[in-house]
Structure 1
Amino acid sequence: MKGFHGYADMVALGKPSVVAQQIAAILKRTTIVQRDLDYTFYPHFHPYVGRLVDELVERSVKGLQASDTATPVWQESLLTTQKYAPTSMVKTPYPVKDLDFSISGGYSVYNWELFYHVPLTIAIHLSRAGRFAEAQRWFHYVFDPTDDGPGETPQRFWKVKPFQTAEV
């Protein structure tokens, strides 16, 4: 029996074909599949743009560059029970507003640029131009080995949040 594009015809000359009978038998069976669903939420916005601009305006570049390691840590929950009341289908930990530097963060590339790449690029440019005092100030926004403040060594020397918590 010939079919169209390799498929057997369902009915040949008024009689159901063998394939049609097999398909009918399969369709009469019912299968119930149970699945457990859960959801993970990720923020895809930068929650602290306004605060970072305020830091820049009020405390200059030094204040802005210090804001990623500021104490207390800027972190607020996004899925509060007053607003959303997440059920058990929402996986924990719930998303939080923070200065995210993770690989999967929706705005973490921006934070890396702001707190690491921009100061380092400016410092390298100033150093190449022979403006060493200014370059050192910009290098110290990333790493300051002269910091004698409180905190553990070498973590306190790093001025970029992910480097302070990285395992050495």
Structure 2
Amino acid sequence: MELRRLRPDEAAVRRYVEALWLPYHRELESIVDGHALADDVDLAAAEVAHRLERLATDGHRTWIAVDGLDADGSIDPMFRPDSDGDLAGFVTTDVDESPAVFDRPDRLTVGDLYVLEPYRGTGLVDTLLERAAKRARAVDCEALSLEVDVDNDRAMAVYERHGFETDRRQLSLPIDDG
């Protein structure tokens, strides 16, 4: 299993979106109340455009777990769409810089973390979280942070097993038109 950084290449991003991002969000749709994908847009095209924009920023990174080698037997540190490897999971991170008015260190936010079913229980989550921690150290962030849906018991258990602790709660209130 190799971790490769997703580069801002449309074909690579499309493969990532179709093989990992869409299955991740379809799975969340089935277990998390209120996590519904739009049905009136081309999801893949919209996410490819969004992801290409995100990848162009300095603070954002996406790492893809690839099972297998490239066609020529080499290991490319960047994810390429022509790779022979099967995609197994991914993690996205963003630097959350603390404004000067607050006395808190910068932190690295894990935006999404997903492992396809056949790779669950293999230690891939550990590898992806360690990659995020390595990125945090590289950019002088003192902590990892993330949000998890309250309905996602499996994810909560994984994060707690890795030592994450609840330090905030996010509350929502629907506002009707009346």
**If the length of structure 2 is used for normalisation, what is the TM-score?**
0.22
**If the length of structure 1 is used for normalisation, what is the TM-score?**
0.23
Name whichever structure is richer in strand by fraction. Answer: 2
Name whichever structure is richer in helix by fraction. Answer: 1
Name which one, 1 or 2, has greater alpha-carbon Rg.
1
Q: Relative contact order (alpha carbons < 8 A, sep ≥ 6): 1 or 2 greater? A: 2
